[in-house]
Structure 1
Amino acid sequence: MASFTLETRSGDQKEIKGKDGVTLMKLIRRAGVEELVAQCGGSCACATCHVYVFLPEGARIEHMGPGESRMLATASHRDATSRLSCQIKFDASLDGMRVRIAPEDLNSF
């Protein structure tokens, strides 16, 4: 089964099994990682599920939409690898991907 590696804010790493069509946010929360707040429940209305995504060679994800870009514009720790985990659907082509939870940001609420 395809999976990805999650790095928490404290640097701990956890292998998370993926499921095609399920968002990274849901997969991370189902794995019991509570530091990914996801306050809006995945409706792209906050940036509390902000992560950094490192794709395996050759893998692609959909480009960031305008709503996601607006939400990340409020994030203090945004960089070129920033995404909202609620906006990325996992599929087997992402096997081996690395995801790091962004630092907590009070502007994200």
Structure 2
Amino acid sequence: MPHRCKPQWEKPIPEQSVETVVIGGGQAGLATAFHLGGRGRDFIVVDANRDIGDSWRYRWDSLQLFTPAGFSHLPGLKFPAPRADRPTKDAMADRSRNCP
């Protein structure tokens, strides 16, 4: 089975059944995918954007999180910035691409 956090645009979607479809590859969708994978569930994530993290990247130019990096990470993927830093939208987009 392909790694579910790697874009599969080059390949046609196989005609197969999956147990769960996660709609949206943003912060919540990737967190949901992490927990489904940890439970051994068969799933796929679909998103309107081409690349993982684009839901962050295409927001307002000046977007910066109010919450510190220590509370803004994806499950299983700690943010590399100091805990008190507030990540920008681009930092969140870049980090999302490294989902487990």
Q: TM-score if structure 2 supplies the norm length?
A: 0.30
Higher strand share: 1
Which has the greater radius of gyration? Answer: 2
Higher helix share: 2
